[in-house]
Amino acid sequence: MNIWNPWHGCKKYSEGCQNCYVYRRDNSVGRDASIITKTSSFNEPIKLNKYKEYKISRGAEVYACMTSDFFIEEADNWRNDAWQMIDKRKDVHFNIITKRIARAKDCLPENWGGGYENVTIGCTVENQKQADIRLPIFKDFPSKHKFIICEPLLENIEMSKYLGAWVSYISVGGESGANARVCDYDWVL
């Protein structure tokens, strides 16, 4: 698994962000996680090694923006370049996870159509409130591959009315860190 963070930093967005691991990690090194910056690894998908081969190899799976949100407003000026790299690297599969599915459709490239074959979009829902807000939007979101992330799972979520063949799978997990909130196994089941 490869991680590509074209930008770093995030603005807390909803209840699941309370104990954000990015904020926790940045705080431990004296960095302000609320400041969004373009990273030195921005061009990672198209970087070449000394043999003039891509550093990220053909067939790799890449998780994008694990220290930010791909659809955060502060990255609007950089996102088109990121999409161009993703489109160029059709031989690599990119996973993009977001809480900001409500603005994602407005952030797609012109040639997106029904989605790039090499991109899976994941929408995070942490409680019933966010599931009821985000999942109807996500269901209609144009993407060939979609999954739902219930992380951190903060309560039991009833999602059956939203599910169907449009979603590939659901990932569930609890919160990490010293102040982690309870994730009840019955909620997971």
Backbone angles phi, psi at 183, to 5 degrees: -120, 105
Give the pLDDT band of residue 93 (cuts 50, 70, 90): very high
* 157-175 average pLDDT score: 96
pLDDT tens profile 172-189: 999 999 999 999 999 999
Q: What is the pLDDT of residue 36?
A: 98
Q: What is the pLDDT of residue 1?
A: 84
| pLDDT at residue 76 is higher than 90 | yes
Q: Tell me how crowded residue 75 is: count the other CB atoms within 10 A of its CB.
A: 22
H helices of the chain, in order, are 21-28, 76-88, 101-104, 128-139, 185-188
> What mean pLDDT value characterizes the chain?
97
Nearest Cα residue to 186 out of 175, 168, 178, 174: 174
Q: What is the pLDDT of residue 111?
A: 98
Q: What is the pTM of this model?
A: 0.95
| pLDDT at residue 114 is higher than 90 | yes
The distance of Cα 134 from the centroid of its chain, to the nearest Å, equals 14
Identify residue 175 by its one-letter amino acid code. Answer: E
